[in-house]
Amino acid sequence: MMRFHTRSELIQYARDGAPSSACKRAMLHDVVLLGKFVPIPPFDSPGGWMMVVHSKHGREWILAVVLASQPGQPPTVREADVFPWHCWAGDPAKASRTLDNGDLPGYNAMMMKGDTDDTTTEAPGDRDPGGRS
């Protein structure tokens, strides 16, 4: 069973399975971890983590590290079209950055509760002024 202990381990795993070499290069510079989602539709998965990757040329990828449905299988990295905010599994009471809460726990909690006019397809790219990687 694979376990991710740090943000860096999770991002490196996603980078290793990234859909393109351009995405892999962009992951060296600008990744926003959105946290854990249970489940991640439309993938047949009990859950996993989602992140947004931005390239310096303006390209954006929504990636999911999807846990396997069968025990003993490794997670897979999949490209997603939307964020299933209603499935966000972080703890809105905690403002700390964890693998489950992601880099923007306050924003994620707001999206999960629907306290915004944003749609489920909007990426939080410009809302993270630090461009954390």
Question: The tokens 């924003």 sit on which residue?
Answer: 107
Range of the structural domain that residue 34 is part of: 7-84
Question: Has residue 102 been placed in a domain?
Answer: no
pLDDT score recorded for residue 120: 44
Residue 133 has pLDDT above 80, yes or no: no
36: exposed, middle or buried (Cβ count in 10 Å: 0-12, 13-18, 19+) = buried
Greater pLDDT, 105 or 41 = 41
Residue 123 has pLDDT above 60, yes or no: no
Name the pTM for this structure.
0.80
The DSSP letter of residue 37 is E
- Count the helices and strands in the chain (H runs, E runs): 3, 4
Question: Has residue 39 been placed in a domain?
Answer: yes
Count CB atoms within 10 A of the CB of residue 60.
13
pLDDT score recorded for residue 1: 62
Residue 90 has pLDDT above 50, yes or no: yes
| Percent of the chain residues past pLDDT 70, beyond the cut | 83
Query: Pseudo-torsion of CA 123, 33, 54, 30, nearest 10°?
Result: 140
Q: What is the mean pLDDT of the chain?
A: 83
Question: Has residue 48 been placed in a domain?
Answer: yes
pLDDT, tens digit (0-9, with 9 covering 90-100), for 49-84? 999 999 999 999 999 999 998 888 999 999 999 889
Question: Has residue 34 been placed in a domain?
Answer: yes
pLDDT score recorded for residue 105: 73
For residue 74, give the nearest of 133, 25, 14 by alpha carbon.
14
Question: Has residue 62 been placed in a domain?
Answer: yes
- The angle at the Cα of 83, spanning 21 to 2, to the nearest 5 degrees, equals 60
- Overall domain count for the chain: 1
Question: Has residue 130 been placed in a domain?
Answer: no
How does residue 2 score in pLDDT terms, banded at 50, 70 and 90? Answer: confident
Question: Has residue 52 been placed in a domain?
Answer: yes
Contacts of residue 36, defined as CB under 8 A and 6 or more positions apart, other chains included, come to: 47, 48, 49, 88, 89, 90, 99, 100, 102
Question: Has residue 33 been placed in a domain?
Answer: yes
Count CB atoms within 10 A of the CB of residue 21.
8
For residue 111, give the nearest of 90, 81, 97 by alpha carbon.
90
